[in-house]
Amino acid sequence: MAVSLQVLYPVGEGTTFDHAYYASTHMDLVGEHMGPHMVSAQASKGLAGGPNVPSPFHAIATILFEDQAAMDAAMGAAGPVMADIPNFTNVQPQIMIGEVMS
């Protein structure tokens, strides 16, 4: 069964997020270190939470894996990816691991 890893960076008072660094340097690190285990990865920049509502997230990354074993292997290789987080944000990311339903 396919598994997804979503990394959410919530907006909050005093939070910072460098979208240019995230889109280029950080996502390149994701591909370099976790890529051999992934099916796909995408990152979305938060624009809105609805009509006339600011986005609750700076960004959300969604990474798909063929199965739990592939995600476990990717997470085992993710040390440099995790160490890079302070280079683009002061946010503590939220994580959701899910079973892909469609």
**pLDDT tier at 102, thresholds 50, 70, 90:** confident
Record the tokens describing residue 50, joined without a space: 């609805």
Residue with tokens 């909050």: 12
Sign for the CA dihedral angle at 35, 37, 39, 43 comes to negative
Predicted pLDDT of residue 25: 97
Average pLDDT estimate for 94-101 = 97
pTM to 2 decimal places: 0.93
Q: pLDDT tens, 24-81?
A: 999 999 999 999 999 999 999 999 999 999 999 999 999 999 999 999 999 999 999 9
